[in-house]
């Protein structure tokens, strides 16, 4: 998966609008696939950034808190949602890709680079 070292290297190369893209819900049998794309300020990471982990590793209360902090401080946020009925038709892998594409397209600022977990795009 992408990491801060990769993001910092991109910043050194002159990229400023770097979007991190990830999904949740791929393990759910009856739920949607939801993806988020976020561009944080390039200059420094907020103090709460160290709390960000895989959504399965943090409590619902902390996820809610982080959601509001991200919404408040991010330069851009986009969310994509693919419902179960679409997943059933196109399969989970294509649904994940679609949700990620929707999230990126909904960003109010065009990213210069995307950091995406390759496993999320390749594994079904």
In which residue are the tokens 């910043």 written?
A: 11
Tell me, what's the pLDDT at 112?
A: 95
Q: Which spans in 1-124 are helix H? A: 4-12, 60-73, 84-90, 92-105, 118-122
Condensed to tens digits (0 to 9), the pLDDT of residues 24-43 reads 877 657 789 999 999 998 77
Condensed to tens digits (0 to 9), the pLDDT of residues 102-118 reads 999 999 999 999 999 76
Question: What's the CA dihedral at 95, 101, 102, 108 to 10 degrees?
Answer: 160
The neighbour count for residue 43, using CB atoms within 10 Å, is: 7
Which residues share a beta bridge with 46?
none
**What residues have CB less than 8 Å from 32, skipping those under 6 apart?**
25, 81, 82, 83, 84, 87, 99
Q: Which domains does the chain have, with CATH numbers?
A: 4-115 (3.30.420.10)
Q: What is the residue-averaged pLDDT of the chain?
A: 87
Tokens at 106, concatenated = 């909904």
């Amino acid at each position: 998966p992408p990491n801060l070292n990769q993001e910092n290297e991109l910043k050194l190369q002159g990229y400023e609008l770097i979007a991190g893209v990830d999904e949740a819900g791929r393990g759910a049998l009856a739920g949607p696939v939801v993806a988020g794309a976020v561009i944080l300020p390039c200059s420094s990471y907020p103090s709460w950034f160290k709390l960000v982990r895989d959504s399965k590793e943090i409590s619902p209360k902390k996820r809610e808190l982080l959601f509001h902090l991200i919404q408040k401080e991010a330069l851009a946020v986009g969310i994509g949602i693919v419902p179960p009925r679409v997943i059933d038709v196109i399969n989970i892998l294509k649904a994940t890709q679609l949700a990620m594409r929707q999230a990126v397209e909904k960003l109010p600022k065009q990213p210069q680079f995307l950091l995406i977990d390759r496993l999320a795009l390749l594994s079904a």
